[in-house]
Amino acid sequence: MNLPGLRSNLPRMIKPFHAVVVAAVLVAPALAHAQSADLVLCDRVVADPTDPDKPADVKGVAEIATADIATAIKYCAVAAKSSRRAMYQLGRAYAANRQTAEAAGAWRKAADKGSTSAMVELGVLYGTGAGVAKDEAQARKLFERAAQAGNARGVSNLAALGGSSASDPARARDLLAKAAETNAEAQYQLGMMLAEGKGGAQDDVAARALFEKAAAQNHPGALERMGAFAQAGRGGPKDGDAAKAYYQRAAALGDEDAKKALERARCPYVLKDKRGNAVTDLCF
């Protein structure tokens, strides 16, 4: 069974994080005293922005830089002895280094300690058969555990796998509503359900408010949706300038739909021949 809808946070590679050791010590001395320096450094280079365990004052990185992988493994391995968050992050570092077996082991330990993000990533491995024997039943169990705890990706992955949230969208709304109090991914997912009228009444105003909250946290999908809502005047005022700004921010974060929207805005007209066939785009 092909499962293209499963959502994972397995990192890709981007620009390196320079002088991490010096920066972490200089900008967060109080935090370093409150928790180990190893955990502070682990957070700095590999914390997941969508992880419910992540402290509010830690920004996190969506993608782990190639130059930071060795640093992440070194410090997260030490911090993981006393922190489930660090254990989950160690798994992310291993995954970035293409050490899938080691990543699975770290996520399994973190999941046993209650990390819902680790449950999701481990579920993705079981659901796709990446580095472990494919086991959709086990994947479903892990997604259900994460979803019950309010993890937004647990809910969406359970739906992709055909789990209870897919057959009961109203229940999925309830689960997402709990997570949406603090989590940008949950805000985006719940906003999509409200915008599409899944699991209950359609509510563009509420959907736009959720997209706006997630967009303020630089969620690419929410930024793109805010662009679309502002462009069409859905759930609030119509504002072409604001729409363009949202699209630009989303595109800068790699959102393909936002890139297409910007291109459509740049080339709004299609010239056609007498047979009605498109000849070229008229761009400005």
Phi/psi at 37 (nearest 5 deg)? -60, -30
Q: Does domain 203-284 have CATH number 3.90.950.10?
A: no
Strands of the chain, DSSP E: 269-272, 278-282
Write down the pLDDT at residue 50.
85
Decide: helix, strand or coil at residue 135.
coil
pLDDT of residue 181: 82
- pLDDT tens figures, 192-230: 999 999 889 999 999 999 999 999 998 999 999 999 999
DSSP-assigned beta bridge partners for residue 282: 269
Q: How confident is the model at residue 92 (pLDDT cuts 50, 70, 90)?
A: very high
Q: What is the pLDDT of residue 270?
A: 65
pTM as predicted: 0.62
pLDDT tens digit string along 140-180? 999 989 988 888 888 878 877 765 555 678 877 887 887 78
Q: What is the pLDDT of residue 126?
A: 95
Mean pLDDT of 86-104: 97
pLDDT for residue 101 is more than 50: yes
Beta bridge partners, 271, equal: 280
The Cα 202–Cα 192 span in angstroms is 10
Structure token pair of residue 220: 């690419």
DSSP state of 19: T
pLDDT tier for residue 44 given thresholds of 50, 70 and 90: very high
- Amino acid (1-letter code) at residue 237: P
60/272: higher pLDDT: 60
d(CA 118, CA 218): 22
3-class DSSP state for residue 279?
A: strand
The larger pLDDT score, comparing residue 250 to residue 276, is at: 250
pLDDT of residue 109: 98
Across the range 66-91, mean pLDDT stands at 97
Q: How far is CA 2 from CA 7, 54, 129, 135, 225, in A?
A: 13, 31, 10, 13, 27
Task: Round the average pLDDT of the chain to a whole number and report it.
Answer: 84
Q: How far apart are the C-alpha atoms of 231 and 81, rounded to whole Å? A: 49
Average pLDDT over residues 99-111: 97
CA distance 251 to 172: 29
- Where exactly are the structural domains of the chain? 203-284
